[in-house]
Chain A
Amino acid sequence: MVPEEAVREPKRKAYKIKDYKSATRPIWCPGCGDFGVLSALYSAMSTLNLPPEDVALISGIGCSSRLPGYVATYGFNSVHGRILPIATGVKMANPEITVVGTGGDGDGFSIGMGHVPHAVRRNVDMTYIVMDNEIYGLTKGQLSPTAHVGDVTKTSIYGSVERPVEPVKFMLSIGASFVAQVNAGNPKHMADVIVEGIQHKGFAFINAMSPCRTWRGIEQKKFINQHAHYLEDGEHDPSDLAAALALAGQEDPISMGVFYKEERPTYDQLYAEVRQKAQSKKVPEIQEIMQRYIP
């Protein structure tokens, strides 16, 4: 349940799911897990009663990065791999905006991987939802960084020999202040986790296992549904990093829910302190700066 005080006073009304829907229809294939993520996101924003104009969805390239186009908030469908620095720019320019990054496993953990630890260590106050389908869908079936050893794809026809990135374990190990996992096949549970992620002050990572019917077949979805285990209240202590890592390392069942959560100052809060320090001595008018250069 969402604490009452977390729900924003509506600017003009209580926002319903339809207020977040854009006029565009998704191009995703039938059965795509991303539909579930989209509907969970609508629902989470409505639960939090976020005015659409105060939300910015930042995406990269890939099937899942089409998502902002289907939402009536501000959106930015950018280039491949740069969700996090663009989102950082938006948040630092205007901390009042709720910033959500939405992308895929290739965007985040292959081409964009270099930015991940930096957004994490800065603790940018944003939510980053990675729709992980373990395949390159938009380019039609090549090997993804989260695919498993032995996986046969169009670019690993003899079976992949590369160990996968394990998103939850990875994000825990680099110090993300909020780490969760959800199943795209369970939008209701997912919506609750997204609400918690958005409410979290700091960098919230949500790994959405989002099956690809077209390139992974029905088996992927079945596998996730069969092995998903939804963490119950009291079952796992999300302040315990060692326990969270152990949970993330478990192959079966696959835990869904909040693995880890820690409150610490966000990048914009810390930068506000930088400004305070910089302004502790009298700040000259901009035109007076010239005086410093007159010897």
Chain B
Amino acid sequence: MECNDIVVAMAGSGGDGVVSAGEILASAGASEGIHAFMLKSFGPQIRGGESSCRVRLCEQQIQSHGDRVQVLGVFNWKDFARFKGEMAFAEPLVIVQDSADKTPEDEIPIDDGIEKIIYSVPIGDLAKEKAGTSQAKNIVMLGVLSALFELPSNGIQNAIKKRFRKKSQEVIDSNLRAFQAAVEYVRDEMEKIDDVRFSYQPSEAKVLMEGNEALAYGALYAGCRFFAGYPITPASELLEWMGRELPRYDGTMLQAEDELAAISMIIGASFAGEKAMTSTSGPGLSLMSEQIGLASIAELPLVIVDVQRTGPSTGIPTKTEQSDLQQALYGTHGDANRVVIAPADVEDCFDVGVEAFYIAEKYQVPVIVLSDQYLGQHKETFEQTSLFGNGNGFMKTMNRVTPSDEELKDYKRFRITETGVSPMTYPGIEGGTYQAAGIEHGEDGLPTSDVDVHARMTEKRFRKNKYIAEELNFVRFYGPEDAEIGVIGWGSTKGAIKEAVLQLNAEGHAVSAAIPQIILPFPQAKMEQYLEPLKKVIVAELSYTGQFYKYLKGFLRFGDRDLIPYARSGGSPFDVEEIYNAVKQELE
């Protein structure tokens, strides 16, 4: 069976190089113009332990990780066992296992009911023999997979050269030898008994990035030059990326002593006139809550990225969930304005990085970007023209608007204006001194306990939302406009929802979907219009308590429409099939 869409998974112990093999495979695909989507998964160990990866390769643009693994490479069944709950399998499942693992076929930790085709290959022995080290096991595995299933072999060899380019020529050569030996072994010693063959037409190389990288990149492009953060899984890649890049562009990255300090530092930097950002995950966002209120009342531009993980408390730091939504929308005491925006895929992470700064600087509000572990840490391809070429993405940047000389004559930092946005100075600007404050203040910034002033200033701070919503209200819509059944989701679940809806459409079912990119202020008009033809609405989210469902109920009048929450706790991302089935059930 020829296919142009294949899902390959590998599992082994930390030393087996499973994740680097996956990265080489994804890079190989991208370099030959194939779309790739790569997930990785680790055991709780800091080093070593079990690891697995899943790479989906497809000739067409893909939206998700691919529900069912078609090809599975296993170094060690004991290590695999840990991940079996995370994988569903196609049938027949084709397995390539290291023959050094003597687990009998009937004891393999995969359901007996699943039809399997098993190739047993001396992976470790070939590595030792041909590369002189068992470290090349992963390359041998790639060679076997590549030869058996016609994966992009040139791309793999180039990716191997690139990956080891900083090592000696000998390392590169021995790995290439290992790859060749595996290919020859398949040719000379093995008989192909399955019919999986990947076929594709090479095209222009794709960009291959993780969400965390794309988001940091977007922020840098938008002019972010100050970043403070505290290490936390799964957001640390942002901190590390900024630590490497910002000083190259005259910027500053500070590793703070805790999240209280991280957000305080960027509040200080923003007050001093810099575009400033922090990133964290749920526990850090909890600690930052008080200062979100401070930035809100002091009307300071700020970008806070929350790469959500499974909660509450420590939860499962390495797994995804969408359960920080309410914390992002409401977290902190008092009526504190902020903007909440959620990227939907890796390319969108770049756009949202740019957009978050645009909103923060133009409207002088804290902007919370809600990413998640799935989005932040998976690799995905997109076209080279996507970021800067075709003008589809969000490319508007905004510098802080300082008062004119005229405005400085009678300068009031918090002057009540039509849009709620007041001219803003920062230290160094003559004639513009003012006191920023967490304490309620009048237009001049001076403290007050006058309840009327409090009412006016609160109204002023929230007035901005009307203008933000008018300008920025991007919602992704899929499927026919007159469909009577629709799915509403947000953030990284876009991929699974979109793919499910497109599949249902292809099967002749009228189903639509809406994924708002900006969640607060809510894109009311667009969403009301979307709702109109619908008779049934499924709200899909990775939150046990249905945080998004409850939020939507506050904005949308659903009338007599059936409102169906599809809310489950996270850990694993949505599979396409899951959404497909949820919709299918309502169609019947």
Q: Which A residues have a C-beta under 8 Å from some C-beta of B?
A: 11, 22-24, 51-56, 58, 61, 66, 68-69, 72-79, 81-82, 84-94, 96-97, 114-115, 118, 271, 274-275, 277-279, 283, 286-287, 289-290, 293-295
Within the complex, what minimum Cβ distance (angstroms) separates B441 from chain A?
9
Q: C-beta contact mask, B7-45 vs A, less than 8 Å → 1, else 0?
A: 000000000000000000001101100000000000000
- Which of B130-138, B200-208, B472-480 binds A? B200-208
The 8 A-B residue pairs with the shortest CB-CB distance, nearest first, are: A89-B268, A85-B264, A278-B247, A295-B27, A89-B265, A85-B261, A93-B269, A93-B272
A93 touches B208 (CB 8 A): no
B430 touches A11 (CB 8 A): yes
Q: Across the two chains, which residue of chain A brings its CB closest to B388?
A: A287
Q: Across the two chains, which residue of chain A brings its CB closest to B260?
A: A82
Within the complex, what minimum Cβ distance (angstroms) separates B179 from chain A?
16
| Contacts A86-B267, A289-B217, A294-B30 given; does A53 touch B274 at CB 8 Å | no
From the candidates B155, B268, B429, B435, name the one contacting A77 in the complex (CB within 8 A): B435
From the candidates B220, B226, B265, B432, name the one contacting A286 in the complex (CB within 8 A): B220
A115 touches B268 (CB 8 A): no
B272 touches A90 (CB 8 A): yes
Number of A-B contacts (CB under 8 A): 193
Q: Please tell me if B576 contacts chain A, counting CB pairs below 8 Å.
A: no
Q: Please tell me if B250 contacts chain A, counting CB pairs below 8 Å.
A: yes
**B252 contact set on A, CB distance < 8 A:** 92-93, 271
From the candidates B270, B384, B435, name the one contacting A75 in the complex (CB within 8 A): B435
B384 touches A294 (CB 8 A): yes
User: Contacts A54-B428, A76-B435, A89-B254 given; 6 further ones with Cβ under 8 A?
Assistant: A74-B427, A76-B437, A85-B260, A89-B264, A89-B266, A277-B247
Q: Across the two chains, which residue of chain A brings its CB closest to B221?
A: A286
25 A-B pairs with C-beta separation under 8 A: A11-B430, A53-B429, A53-B432, A56-B271, A58-B268, A61-B438, A76-B437, A78-B298, A79-B438, A81-B260, A85-B262, A86-B271, A87-B268, A89-B226, A90-B268, A93-B268, A94-B426, A97-B428, A118-B256, A278-B247, A287-B387, A290-B207, A294-B205, A295-B27, A295-B208
A52 touches B248 (CB 8 A): no
Q: In the complex the two chains form, what is the Cα distance from A277 to B433 in whole Å?
A: 35
**A54 contact set on B, CB distance < 8 A:** 427-428
From the candidates B261, B266, B437, name the one contacting A115 in the complex (CB within 8 A): B261
Q: Please tell me if B249 contacts chain A, counting CB pairs below 8 Å.
A: yes
A68 touches B428 (CB 8 A): no
B162 touches A295 (CB 8 A): yes
B269 touches A283 (CB 8 A): no
A92 touches B427 (CB 8 A): no
Q: In the complex the two chains form, what is the Cα distance from A22 to B445 in whole Å?
A: 12
A89 touches B427 (CB 8 A): no
Within the complex, what minimum Cβ distance (angstroms) separates A283 from chain B?
5
B208 touches A293 (CB 8 A): yes
From the candidates B205, B249, B271, B291, name the one contacting A295 in the complex (CB within 8 A): B205
Q: In the complex the two chains form, what is the Cα distance from A286 to B384 in whole Å?
A: 15
**B159 contact set on A, CB distance < 8 A:** 295
Within the complex, what minimum Cβ distance (angstroms) separates B95 from chain A?
28
Q: In the complex the two chains form, what is the Cα distance from A164 to B298 in whole Å?
A: 34
Within the complex, what minimum Cβ distance (angstroms) separates B158 from chain A?
8
| Contacts A74-B433, A78-B438 given; does A94 touch B427 at CB 8 Å | yes
Within the complex, what minimum Cβ distance (angstroms) separates A229 from chain B?
36
Q: Please tell me if B149 contacts chain A, counting CB pairs below 8 Å.
A: no
Q: In the complex the two chains form, what is the Cα distance from A79 to B296 in whole Å?
A: 12
A295 touches B447 (CB 8 A): no
Q: C-beta contact mask, B287-319 vs A, less than 8 Å → 1, else 0?
A: 000110110001000000000000000000000
Interface members, chain B 120-174 (any A CB < 8 Å): 155, 158-159, 162
Q: In the complex the two chains form, what is the Cα distance from A68 to B446 in whole Å?
A: 10
A92 touches B254 (CB 8 A): yes
**B209 contact set on A, CB distance < 8 A:** 293
**B387 contact set on A, CB distance < 8 A:** 287, 290
Q: Across the two chains, which residue of chain B brings its CB closest to A282?
A: B248
Q: Across the two chains, which residue of chain A brings its CB closest to B158?
A: A295
From the candidates B158, B274, B435, name the one contacting A68 in the complex (CB within 8 A): B435
Within the complex, what minimum Cβ distance (angstroms) separates B358 from chain A?
16
Q: Please tell me if B245 contacts chain A, counting CB pairs below 8 Å.
A: yes
Q: In the complex the two chains form, what is the Cα distance from A196 to B274 in whole Å?
A: 29
**B290 contact set on A, CB distance < 8 A:** 79
A72 touches B220 (CB 8 A): no
**A91 contact set on B, CB distance < 8 A:** 268
B294 touches A293 (CB 8 A): no
From the candidates B258, B274, B294, name the one contacting A79 in the complex (CB within 8 A): B294
Q: Please tell me if B542 contacts chain A, counting CB pairs below 8 Å.
A: no
Within the complex, what minimum Cβ distance (angstroms) separates B279 from chain A?
16
Q: In the complex the two chains form, what is the Cα distance from A29 to B274 in whole Å?
A: 38
From the candidates A24, A79, A93, name the one contacting B291 in the complex (CB within 8 A): A79
From the candidates A118, A274, A290, name the one contacting B261 in the complex (CB within 8 A): A118
In this complex, the member of A68, A75, A85, A97 whose beta carbon has the largest number of chain B beta carbons within 10 angstroms is: A85
From the candidates B269, B294, B430, name the one contacting A51 in the complex (CB within 8 A): B430
**B294 contact set on A, CB distance < 8 A:** 78-79
B388 touches A290 (CB 8 A): yes
From the candidates A86, A114, A275, name the one contacting B268 in the complex (CB within 8 A): A86
| Contacts A293-B213, A294-B206 given; does A69 touch B446 at CB 8 Å | yes
Within the complex, what minimum Cβ distance (angstroms) separates A241 from chain B?
24
Q: In the complex the two chains form, what is the Cα distance from A92 to B142 in whole Å?
A: 48
Q: Across the two chains, which residue of chain B brings its CB closest to A289?
A: B217
Q: Please tell me if B184 contacts chain A, counting CB pairs below 8 Å.
A: no
A90 touches B269 (CB 8 A): yes
Q: C-beta contact mask, B238-257 vs A, less than 8 Å → 1, else 0?
A: 00000011011110101011
B438 touches A69 (CB 8 A): no
A115 touches B257 (CB 8 A): yes
Within the complex, what minimum Cβ distance (angstroms) separates A22 from chain B?
8
Q: In the complex the two chains form, what is the Cα distance from A96 to B274 in whole Å?
A: 14
**B162 contact set on A, CB distance < 8 A:** 295
In this complex, the member of B206, B208, B270, B439 whose beta carbon has the largest number of chain A beta carbons within 10 angstroms is: B439
Interface members, chain B 67-81 (any A CB < 8 Å): none
Within the complex, what minimum Cβ distance (angstroms) separates A118 from chain B?
4
Q: In the complex the two chains form, what is the Cα distance from A96 to B388 in whole Å?
A: 35
A93 touches B226 (CB 8 A): yes
Q: Across the two chains, which residue of chain A brings its CB closest to B431?
A: A53
**B250 contact set on A, CB distance < 8 A:** 275
B273 touches A293 (CB 8 A): no
B264 touches A82 (CB 8 A): yes
Q: In the complex the two chains form, what is the Cα distance from A72 to B431 in whole Å?
A: 10
Q: In the complex the two chains form, what is the Cα distance from A52 to B264 in whole Å?
A: 23
**B207 contact set on A, CB distance < 8 A:** 290, 293-294
B272 touches A56 (CB 8 A): yes
Within the complex, what minimum Cβ distance (angstroms) separates B381 from chain A?
10
| Contacts A53-B432, A294-B207, A295-B162 given; does A86 touch B264 at CB 8 Å | yes
